Amino acid sequence: MWARIASSISLLTLGAGFFAISHALELRTRSERLPPNITVGAEDVIRIRASTDESKSTFVEWIGQTLIYKPGQTPSVAFNVVGMNVARAKKLEDGSYDILAKEIQLYLDPKTNAILHTWTNPFTSENVNVIHVQNSPVYQTIPTTTAYTARSLPNNYYTFAFNIPLAYPNPLNPTNDPNSPFRPYQGSYQALYSAIESFAFTFPSSELANRKLEGLPSSQIYWTRTSPLLPWMNSPDTNATLLFIADGNKVSRGWKGLSPILRGVIEDTLPGYKEAPLNRTRPGGGVTSWSFFTQPDVFAAWKNGMEFPVPET
């Protein structure tokens, strides 16, 4: 009997011990819970997006799909995408930051993920020559007043999102010149090119809190964009929309850490994309898919059926 009593006491003691440990862990977890919301300012946006070290080029890679649709119709997959951005952040005298970047985005066959060189327009049935994204430079300014509200997620992560409404003079034919070589590609004249981009960034709270980290290595990025059909699709009067949906992350080991398909393009065609720009060379936001199309050598190469991307001149 005494053995049974002793055994029962031991079990009770053990149970009480487990309860005490569990209670202590619960209290500790409660004490370590993240604030539900924090404010992310300009410097931390740079750490999340790139790095505050001006000597470093930060690489981001993403994958996703592009959908195409007309109002009242079911969207379909136009192609898959894989892309990269290499960026350098420079702090300006007023405390704001310039992000100096270059970017590649490849349009891929949705079944094989091979690089597309021609694409069949679903509205005209025309096979058109594909112009992939090779925008250099691309600029963005992060003002000192930047303040995003990031909300907490499970597993000690935070996330915040923001939208960039785009509206600028139509790069194809800003004056609506009837003799412009780009007149056939502009469609019904609109003074402004309009689109919208949306971004979300997710990152570990521990990395944000570690002020020794000039850039957060584990940042994850989510991107969507809606826009008119691209000019190389040669369907300017089609009332259709492109919807880009992709997600990605920072890449370690520089350009050599990119996926083989992007690494191959950089090695063979665009070696200048191994590093971000060192300095801003022009005002504004830099090169876009639309302004790239209007470059005389690019337009001529497209008309002549050359394969893109093309070497930088």
| Region 249-258 average pLDDT | 97
pLDDT value, residue 176: 83
Residue 123: phi and psi, rounded to 5, are -95, -25
Q: Please, what is the average pLDDT of the chain?
A: 90
Flag whether pLDDT at 277 surpasses 50: yes
C-alpha to C-alpha distance for 144 and 139, rounded to whole angstroms: 16
pLDDT tens, position by position, 10-60: 444 444 454 444 444 343 444 368 899 999 999 999 999 999 999 999 999
Q: Are 173 and 180 in contact (CB under 8 A)?
A: yes
The phi-psi region of residue 156 (left if phi > 0; otherwise alpha if psi is between -120 and 50; otherwise beta) is left
- Helices (runs of H) and strands (runs of E) counted in the chain: 7, 12
Token pair, residue 254, equals 């520089």
pLDDT class for 185, splitting at 50, 70, 90? confident
289: part of which helix (H) or strand (E)? helix 289-293
Average pLDDT score over residue span 161-181: 88
- Specify burial of residue 247 (Cβ count, 10 A radius: 0-12, 13-18, 19+): middle
pTM of the model: 0.88
Of 98-107, 177-186, 265-274, least confident by mean pLDDT is 177-186
**pLDDT digits over 143-162, tens only?**
999 999 999 999 999 999 99
Q: CA nearest 187: which of 233, 145, 133?
A: 233
> According to the model, what pLDDT value does residue 28 have?
41
What was the pLDDT predicted at 186? 81
